[in-house]
Amino acid sequence: MTFVRDLTIKQIRAFEAVARTRSITKAAEEICVTPPAISSQLKTLQNLIGADIIKRESDGLRPTQIGLEILALSDHMEAAINLSARKIKAVKDGKSGTVGLAVVSTGKYFAPAIIAAFMAAYPGIKLRPVIGNRQIVLKALETKAVDMAIMGRPPASLDVVAHTLGEHPNILIAPPGHRLAGVQKIKPADLLKETLLTRELGSGTRTLAVQYMDRVGEGLGYPTMEIGSNESIKQAVMAGLGIAMISAHTVMAELEQGRLITLNMPGLPIIRHWILVHSKNSPLSGAAKCFHEFLLENRDDFIPQYVHAPK
């Protein structure tokens, strides 16, 4: 059956036209070639198969039994080509394809709602999320493992296009009943006695927390404890292991329920912004453009609103 690899679309289409019109001349007119060209295609096809594929009868040319198998192949071939054409058009139109989206860890509290809403609106497009700290997200952008990213500040090392999605407040949290709870003007010396619970190296939240504490404490030291995730930090703070600077979007439920409180310090909350970035030098695919436009048009529906109300 090695001949199958040598069959061409032109040969099969020429044969299908002859079998349908029962005439080489009519087939040639239909597909805009000369009759000798049709005859040549049929001869080549018949030689490849090694058997007669068409026979002459009183009312014209008709396929042999083997020719009928070639016609069945023609039907499958045209169906596959048409399906691929529709899929290609869908990808070009942004209605199909895959979009790689990196999200910094603190964004995972609202990113699922974005993904769910988009996939409901565009079921033909698959979203492939990558969630991790800032360094992981930067690596994904640098290596083009993703099309775009949601993060807290644009990378200085990459040439990107950035669009603001909404405010990103960062706050200091403590457990209910903490000695500094409700104090309107916390002294820096009192704050520096507290153990600061931080994320791992490479986390943007950790960088922000350290910068703030160094500024408030004017370079004085303070105890720290590294904890690997926002969820673990929340649990550690509630257990009384220390205080933490954290994205307000990660603790809104706990603040509402009274399981955590905010500390009143000058300059808090620190308002940054969620941004959507993609490489300036890599054009977005149709599917990626579709997601990009969807998120920018609906950004107000997805970024939680935080009302600063210290307790």
Residue range 87-118, pLDDT digits in tens: 787 777 777 889 999 999 889 889 999 999 99
Q: Are residues 123 and 88 in the same domain?
A: no
Q: Examine residue 29 and state whether it is found in any structural domain, yes or no.
A: yes
Q: Are residues 250 and 268 in the same domain?
A: yes
Work out the mean pLDDT of the chain and round it to a whole number: 90
Q: Are residues 66 and 153 in the same domain?
A: no
Q: Examine residue 213 and state whether it is found in any structural domain, yes or no.
A: yes
Q: Are residues 173 and 260 in the same domain?
A: yes
Q: Identify the CATH number of the domain in which residue 24 sits.
A: 1.10.10.10
% of the chain surpassing 70 pLDDT: 97
Q: Are strands 160-174 and 261-262 parallel, antiparallel or unpaired?
A: antiparallel
Q: Are residues 119 and 205 in the same domain?
A: no
- For range 31-49, the mean pLDDT: 92
- For range 52-77, the mean pLDDT: 90
Q: Identify the CATH number of the domain in which residue 148 sits.
A: 3.40.190.10
Distance CA 171, CA 218 (A): 19
Q: Are residues 161 and 280 in the same domain?
A: yes
Question: How would residue 4 be classed by pLDDT, with cut points 50, 70 and 90?
Answer: low
Q: Examine residue 105 and state whether it is found in any structural domain, yes or no.
A: yes
- For range 272-294, the mean pLDDT: 93
Q: Are residues 140 and 71 in the same domain?
A: no
Amino acid 311: pLDDT: 43
Q: Are residues 244 and 175 in the same domain?
A: yes
Question: How would residue 310 be classed by pLDDT, with cut points 50, 70 and 90?
Answer: very low
Q: Examine residue 307 and state whether it is found in any structural domain, yes or no.
A: no
Q: Are residues 173 and 252 in the same domain?
A: yes
pTM more than 0.75 = no
Q: Examine residue 284 and state whether it is found in any structural domain, yes or no.
A: yes
Q: Which domain does 205 fall in, by range? A: 169-272
Select from 73, 92, 111 the last residue of a domain. Answer: 92
Q: Are residues 130 and 194 in the same domain?
A: no
Q: Examine residue 309 and state whether it is found in any structural domain, yes or no.
A: no
Q: Are residues 118 and 140 in the same domain?
A: yes
% of the chain surpassing 90 pLDDT: 69
Amino acid 95: pLDDT: 74
For the chain, the three-class secondary structure string (H helix, E strand, C coil) is CHHHHHCCHHHHHHHHHHHHHCCHHHHHHHCCCCHHHHHHHHHHHHHHHCCCCEEEECCEEEECHHHHHHHHHHHHHHHHHHHHHHHHHHHHCCCCEEEEEEEEHHHHHCHHHHHHHHHHHCCCEEEEEEEECHHHHHHHHHCCCCCEEEECCCCCCCCEEEEEEEEEEEEEEECCCCCCCCCCCCCHHHHCCCCEEECCCCCHHHHHHHHHHHHHCCCCCCCEEECCCHHHHHHHHHCCCCEEEEEHHHCHHHHHHCCCEECCCCCCCEEEEEEEEEECCCCCCHHHHHHHHHHHHHHHHHCCCCCCCCC
Residue range 112-139, pLDDT digits in tens: 999 999 999 999 999 999 999 999 999 9
Q: Examine residue 308 and state whether it is found in any structural domain, yes or no.
A: no
Q: Are residues 161 and 285 in the same domain?
A: yes
Domains held by the chain: number:
3
Q: Examine residue 288 and state whether it is found in any structural domain, yes or no.
A: yes
- Contact predicate 97/126, CB 8 Å: yes
Question: How would residue 308 be classed by pLDDT, with cut points 50, 70 and 90?
Answer: low
- For range 177-206, the mean pLDDT: 91
Amino acid 225: pLDDT: 95
